[in-house]
Amino acid sequence: MTMPALFIGHGSPMNIILDNDYTQHLQKLGKELPRPKAILVISAHWLTDRTYVSSSPHPETIYDFYGFPDELYKLTYPCKGSPELANEIITSLKHYDIKADDQYGLDHASWAVLKHLYPDADIPVIEMSLDIRKSFQYHFNLGKELAFLREQDILIIGSGNLVHNLRNVDFNDNALPFEWAKEADEIFKKLLMEKEFSKLIYPDSLGASVKLAIPTAEHYIPMIYIIGMQSEKDKLSFTYEGIQNGSMSMRSFMVG
């Protein structure tokens, strides 16, 4: 069996403790997915000048957010790591010169999602960083190469947001979506459904709303990895649709 691959919109750290339709969807999804042997998270929050994979056997919970309720900083996600999986990626993809990092833990792009998907923290997890020097095409190609892990019962999660503009964010829980955010989200939805990968890899021509949606690339790139590993026989299905805080699309999808 080929394991599905996921893109998850993670949004605000507040989703770690909120009970809403988004977090409920994650809890439901975790019960429906085949149980993986290990998890690889491609994180929007680990930005580096080359590609790294985390190799700590006991990754620490990283609180890479500021000014949130004290409750968030008391939570942990005490899963094991997998130095073996990290080494397999490095060995199998030697031409990408990927390096291990045994100090990096799990940032909230990982554990904010996994806290709902797999609350028992009983599956090993590693992260992959984003080489911010590289093009979207590079990340797409690397996603293709990582697809072999799906045949080994490894769940791959790209964690980011298709629309992520913190300059316009409204932290009111009932904030209405901006019109440009809705427009950009619908553009992405259409292109994903139609497998218009070249347009998603080169989004600069997609108009003003998309430029507002991607003021910086790091939350968009994890999606590029997941479409890169989509095979011809894979179906793409949306597991969640919605916009939080005015300017963050929580759109999530599964391939496989």
Per-residue pLDDT of 114-171, as tens digits, reads 999 999 999 999 999 999 999 999 999 999 999 999 999 999 999 999 999 998 988 8
Query: Any bridge partners for residue 127, and if so which?
Result: 41
Do 67 and 182 touch, CB atoms closer than 8 A? no
Number of residues assigned to the chain: 256
pLDDT at 66 over 80: yes
> Domains of the chain: which residue ranges?
5-255
pLDDT of residue 169: 87
CB burial of 76-90 (b: ≥16 within 10 Å; e: otherwise) equals ebebbbbbebbebbb
Whole-angstrom distance, CA of residue 171 vs CA of residue 33: 31
Which segments within the chain are labelled E, that is strand? 5-9, 38-48, 52-54, 99-101, 125-131, 154-160, 236-240, 243-244, 248-249, 252-255
CA distance 122 to 165: 33
Structure tokens at 79: 């899963």
Cα-Cα-Cα-Cα dihedral sign, residues 19, 226, 33, 184: positive
DSSP code string of 139-184:
HHHHHHHHGGGGGGTEEEEEEE-SSB-GGG----TTPPPPHHHHHH
CB burial class (10 A; 0-12, 13-18, 19+) of residue 190? Answer: exposed
Percent share of the chain, pLDDT over 70: 100
pLDDT band at 221 (very low <50, low <70, confident <90, very high): very high
For residue 183, the model assigns a pLDDT of: 98
67-118 residue pLDDT tens: 999 999 999 999 999 999 999 999 999 999 999 999 999 999 999 999 999 9
Phi, psi (degrees; rounded to nearest 5) at 98: -85, 140
Task: Specify the pLDDT at position 170.
Answer: 85
Mean pLDDT of the chain: 96
In the β-sheet with 99-101, what is the strand arrangement from edge to edge?
99-101, 52-54, 125-131, 38-48, 154-160, 5-9, 252-255, 236-240
Q: What does CATH list as the number for 5-255?
A: 3.40.830.10
Please check whether residue 187 is in contact with residue 104, taking contact to mean a CB–CB distance below 8 angstroms: no
Q: How far apart, in whole angstroms, are the C-alpha atoms of residue 42 and residue 28?
A: 22
pLDDT at 164: 97
Does the pLDDT of residue 174 top 90, yes or no? no
Torsion, Cα 44 50 51 54, to 10 degrees, reads: -80
Confidence class for position 173, pLDDT limits 50, 70, 90 = confident
